[in-house]
Amino acid sequence: MLVLTAADVQELVPMRTAIDLMKQVFAELSAGRTESPLRIPLEVSEHEGVTLFMPAHVPSAEGLGVKIVSVFPRNPQQGKPTIHAVVLLTSTETGEPLALLDGTFITALRTGAVSGAATDLLARPDSHVLTVIGAGVQGLTQAWAVATVRPIERVNVFDVNADAAASFADRLRAYDPALADKVVPVDDVHRAVAESDVICTATTARQPVFADADVRLGTHINAIGAFTPEMQEIPPETVARSYLVVDAVDAAMAEAGDLLKAIDAGLISRDAVRVELGHVVDGSAERRTSPEQVTFFKSVGNAVQDVIVARYAVTAAERSGRGQTITL
Instruction: For residue 40, count other CB atoms closer than 10 A to its CB.
Output: 10
Give the contacts of 190 (CB within 8 A, at least 6 positions apart).
Answer: 210, 211, 214
Q: What does the H/E/C string look like for 136-159?
A: CHHHHHHHHHHHHHCCCCEEEEEC
Distance between CA atoms of 213 and 215, rounded to whole angstroms?
6
Q: What does the H/E/C string look like for 199-256?
A: EEECCCCECCCCCHHHCCCCCEEEECCCCCCCCECCCHHHHHCCEEEECCHHHHHHHC
Element (H, E) at 58: strand 49-58
Question: Is residue 310 within 8 Å of residue 71, measured between CB atoms?
Answer: no
Distance between CA atoms of 18 and 119, rounded to whole angstroms?
14
| Radius of gyration in angstroms for the set of CA atoms belonging to the chain, rounded to a whole number | 19
The question of whether 67 is a catalytic residue gets the answer: yes
Strand order in the sheet with 220-223: 183-185, 154-158, 129-133, 198-201, 220-223, 295-298, 243-246
Distance between CA atoms of 232 and 253, rounded to whole angstroms?
14
Buried residues in 196-235 as b, exposed as e (16+ CB within 10 A): bbbbbbbbbbeebbbebebbeebbbbbbbbbbbbebbbbb
Instruction: Choose the catalytic residue: 67, 182, 261, 298.
Output: 67
Distance between CA atoms of 124 and 170, rounded to whole angstroms?
28
Catalytic positions: 67
